[in-house]
Each structure stands twice: as structure tokens, then as C-alpha cells.
A and B are shown apart, each in its own frame.
Chain A
Amino acid sequence: MKVTVASGKGGTGKTTLVTNLALSLTQLERVQVLDCDVEEPNSNLFLGAELTHLENIEIMTPVVDAEKCDGCGKCVRFCQYNSLALAKEKVLVFSEMCHGCGGCKLVCPQNAISEEPRTIGVVEGGNIGALMDKETKEIQTPHIEFLQGLLKPSEPMAVPIIKALKKRMWDDGAVLLDAPPGTSCPVIEALRGSDFCLLVTEPTPFGLHDLKLAVDVVRSMEIPFGVIINRDGAGNDEVRKYCSNESIRVLLSIPESMEIAKLYSDGIPFVTKMDQWPVRFQNLWSDIEKMASAAQMAKVGEVK
């Protein structure tokens, strides 16, 4: 089952949720974690996998052969991203603006444009030991497989990296995706094909406002979802009221706690220090499974 953790507002606890849930699930299932927040991936600060480089992510950008180019400007007019300009009948390429559509090469009547790959980021991965079994003190296998994408600073395009990362996604087992904040294209790309979405929020006006936006997104994508309230108690009850009015289930709340905040700041997943939590995350997972399969059944019913 593929579960994406998203939020709208940044800093509400997506990574906290993904990493603690992943570690709690290792006692039950094979777990794969994909950090799709390729601009600022943080999951591995908590999971601590030894990462190996898996692939460079490249987009194809144009190179203009000045001898063949007659300065007709067709490529410049075709480009939707302002990455080509004509100066004194010569074509200049601003490759950081290029989305790599390949259109300029297609439209050039002189065959003056070729393409070269430009690396915009990487995909890395590694394995992580699981929680220790309390009785036997044995490290449980299987481990977590962890993968992350990393956008090169100063590069604008996150989506190609998220796509490459998701090509490595398992078909079975527990697959957890840590989405970037916001509601635009990178979030959609992370969410696409998910069986379920957990929306993490905090009980504040900002949290509620951005939760509503995120709910719009998952509803429009027809992905079943539930809400997690983080730092519960720090603000007001408006998030709960909203969820109850909209018939949205609040699946878990994590209280405002100095202990949790301190563990977070040191990069320590709190399930490894607070005994009562792994079972709560396991229960969360079985709720998710029930809701996802009910939604699946409903969909099949509709088709029939």
C-alpha cells in the first residue's frame, strides 16, 4: 500500500510522521520510504541510512551550432520558458530556465540545435536497520529501504526528480512517501497513484487554512485521506471543528510536547524513546488499511 504524507503548510510534521510510522511498521511489514521533498529532504536525518548514489537526473537542454544557425528566431518564438533569446542574429541559451521539452530542436529549419544533458539532481538510497525487538533484543528484519531525491541548489525543477524517484517504488509492502509542502505540481506528482494520503496539520489558523487547500487537492485527485493533528493543544479547536463538519476523520493526534520537540531537534525519532508510541502508529496503519480498502471497494462498486 502506498501512503503519501502531505500537509499544505510546511513544518507541520510530515517528516516526523513518516519516519516514526516507518520505524513502527518494521515489526509488521516490509517498509520502503521515499523522501519526495527533493528541495529539502530531511527524513534521513532521522533514519540515518548510509546513502549510495543511484542515478543522476538529467534534462536535455539545447546547444546551438552557431555555424548552422541563420538567426531565423523560430526556436526563440517557440520556447514557452524564455530560455532562448536572439541577440544580433545569434541565439543565446539560458539553460536554467529550460524545461527540456525539445521543441527548439524540432522547429529549427537548419538542424542547428542539438541537445546535451544537464544534471539537475540525484537519486540516492540505502537500507536501515529496524526497531529492536524488546524481548529478544534482536534487530528485526526486513529493514527499511530508504530512497531520496535531491535537487541541486539553484536548479528550479523538482518534478523530474520526483518522477525518477517514484519509478523505484515497490508494488507491495508498506510504501511511505514524504511529500513537499504546498499544493502545486511537486505535491501532485508525489501524490499521484497513492492509495491513501495522510494530511498533517497543526491546530492554528495557518495550519487550518493550508489544510483546507490540501483537502481540495486530495479530493480532486480522489485519494482517500485522513488528518493527523500535530502539536495538539498548542492552538485552538478550529481544525477539529472543520474536520467534523467536513466528515474528515482525525486518525491520530500528537500532543504539543517539549520532549518530542527536543527529540525532533536532535534528529531522534520519538518512537525509539517513547514506548507507548509504536503501537499507536501500528493502529494508525490498520485504520489506513481499512479506509483505503473501503474506498477501493466503493470505487469498484461505482464502476459496476
Chain B
Amino acid sequence: MKQLTVISGKGGTGKTTVTASFAALAENAVLADCDVDAADLHLILKPEVISTHDFFGLKLAHIDYDLCTRCGQCVRHCRFDAIDDDINIIADRCEGCGVCQFVCPVDAISMKERLSGHSHISSTRFGPMAHARLFTAEEASGKLVAVVRNNARILAYEQKRGIIIIDGPPGIGCPVISAISGVDICLIVTEPSLSGMHDLERVLEVTAHFKIPSLVCINKCDINPDNSAKIKSFCKEAGVGVVGELVYDRSVTQAQIKGLSVVEYDDGEVSQSLKAMWNRIMEILDQIK
């Protein structure tokens, strides 16, 4: 079983647009949406949810004020500034470490499970899908990403699927690391803007650190041909293959409005490029043992 994660560094470069088309083109895939705090893939894949599970993220400190003597030990020991001077827990800062509970001399603090989201297993017109919803203002998105990936692996084994296609989150932090760890290939979708290029360089440092082979797709490549050329020469020097270039086309937004992947919506230039890119990635994945 192979795993491919689509990431970008910079948000809004077209990860989900690309992933949705791959989902339509793949013949034997499990889909996984690992952008758990602003998931959009379901807007195109329209999953029918088969089962939902509670996700408990980090624990949350809870103070019994009948026992609390307001000695302030917990405030002094909390490294996350999650307890204010009036001994109130600031829930969205609490990382559930349990230090306050340990240092409390009167056992007034307990650590409670905190429901932080849900994970779903679903079916779509393109095959099974694992996805999730992290409640807003919650921590532990990396942990929920790990749950989604695990669900996707189980689906792949049960249904004998050959590839997991993962829609990753933006950025380079915790949820991204969780979405790429141990995958066979990362596809980085970038755009020919200074921001896109800057973020591409940073995200490539992350994939290199975790020794994950990376490929690049330049979206809206015709908006700034000079920058597109720079990306290509940068990638060449870095030994990273550019496997696709997509032109700017309003059909991409129109497909999204219709709730379709681009390759389903029409057979224009962008669709053709997406198909060619998918075939190239499959060839490259086939060469990886």
C-alpha cells in the first residue's frame, strides 16, 4: 500500500482541488482529509458518513474550588500560562500536561477528558474516505491527523486498496508533520508568487528533514511565468521533480461551485494537465518499493 500526501506550505494554492481530481482519477484509493481544522475535501467528495467516533484530545485541568486554597502553586508551575492569577483555567491554553494536578497540595485539581472533535469513516463516489472535524479553538490537531491516517490505513487493508491519497493541512507545524510522517511521496502544490516560493522552500526543508521524497506542482503557472521558471530552476537544483503545471482557469472555481472535481467538470487544459500529472505520480510511486 502506497501513501501520497498533498501539502503546500502556503494555504490556498490548490491542495484540495488537486486532491479531489486525484480521487476521481485513482482506481483503487482510500481518501483521507487531514486538514482537520479547515477541511474542505468533503465539499467535493460529499461523503456519506458510515461511522463517527469521538476524539478526545489533550486533557483539561479542572479545579474543585471547594478544596482550592488559592495557594497559587499551579499558577507558578504552569508553563503554558493556562491558569490566571484568579486561579481560572484558560481552557484553550491548557495543554493537559497534568503538572498543576501534581503540584496541588490539596488535590483540588483533576485532569478530565476533553471531547475535541470527531473522526468519520465514510463512503464517496470515488471510494472510502477517512476524515475528521476538530472543534474550533482546540489543540491536538496533530493527534487527530494521526487518527484519520490510522482509519485510512484500516480502510485500505480491509478493502484491499492500493493507495491512500491524503489532503494535507497548510503550514509546516504539528499537523503537517503528522500528515506526512512515513508516507511514500509528498506532492507540494505551489504558485508562482514570492509567497508561494518562500513557503515552498520552507516546506521542502521539512520533507527533507523527515526524508520524504517530494514532487512539485505549480498551480496558476501562467500568472507569473518568470516566477514559474524560477521555481523550476530552484527545484532542479534541489533535485525535486516538477510533475505538473496548471494554468489559471475559471473552470476550477466553477467546478468547485458545482461540487465537482475539475476532471469531472470538463476536459479542458487544467483537466488534461491533472490527468498527466496523476499518471506521472503513479509511475514514480510504482518505482518506489
Contacts and interface: CB of A to CB of B under 8 A. Distances in A.
A80 B170 contact: no
A78 interface: yes
Interface string A265-284: 11100000000000000000
B268 interface: no
B174 A157 contact: yes
A37 B98 CA distance: 29
Given A156-B174, A265-B192, A205 B202 contact: no
Interface in A207-264: 209-210, 213, 216-217, 220-221, 234-236, 258, 261-262, 264
A103 B96 CA distance: 11
Contacts of A60: 79
Nearest to B40: A206
A95 interface: no
Contacts of B59: 80
Contacts, number: 190
A265 B97 contact: no
Interface string B112-139: 0000000000000000000000101111
B127 to A, nearest CB: 22
Identify the interface centre among A80, A180, A217: most chain B CB within 10 Å of its CB: A80
A229 B169 CA distance: 22
* B contact face: mostly helix, strand, loop, or mixed: loop
A12 B12 contact: yes
Contacts of A45: 194-195, 198
Interface in A81-113: 81, 99-103, 106-107
B223 interface: yes
A74 to B, nearest CB: 10
Identify the interface centre among B43, B203, B253: most chain A CB within 10 Å of its CB: B253
B289 interface: no
Interface stretch (A3-11, A131-139, A291-299): A3-11
A42 interface: yes
B223 A42 contact: no
A266 B102 contact: no
B99 A102 contact: yes
A255 B93 CA distance: 38
B37 interface: yes
Interface bin, chain B: 35 or more
Contacts of A181: 11-12, 38, 170-171
A257 to B, nearest CB: 12
Interface string B178-205: 0000000000000111111011001101
B256 interface: yes
A153 interface: yes
A216 B136 CA distance: 7
A103 B97 contact: yes
A262 B10 CA distance: 17
Interface string B188-227: 0001111110110011011001100000000000011001
Contacts of A153: 172, 202-203, 205-206, 209
B81 interface: yes
A78 B172 contact: no
Given A39-B173, A153-B205, A154-B210, A102 B79 contact: yes
Contacts of B170: 10-11, 39-40, 181-182
B185 to A, nearest CB: 18
Contact of B136 (A99, A213, A235): A213
B16 interface: yes
Identify the interface centre among B11, B227, B259: most chain A CB within 10 Å of its CB: B11
A188 interface: yes
B13 A11 contact: yes
Contact of A183 (B38, B174, B199): B38
9 contacts: A9-B40, A60-B79, A78-B98, A80-B95, A155-B173, A156-B177, A182-B37, A185-B92, A204-B253
- 4 nearest CB pairs, A to B: A10-B11, A11-B12, A101-B97, A39-B171
Interface of B: 8-13, 16, 37-38, 40, 43, 58-59, 77, 79-81, 92-93, 95-99, 102-103, 134, 136-139, 141-142, 169-177, 191-196, 198-199, 202-203, 205-206, 209-210, 223-224, 227, 250, 253, 256-257, 259
Interface of A: 8-12, 15, 37, 39-40, 42, 45, 60, 78, 80-81, 99-103, 106-107, 151, 153-158, 163, 180-186, 188-189, 204-206, 209-210, 213, 216-217, 220-221, 234-236, 258, 261-262, 264-267
Given A40-B11, A265-B192, 9 more contacts: A9-B38, A42-B195, A45-B198, A102-B99, A151-B172, A153-B203, A181-B170, A205-B256, A265-B227
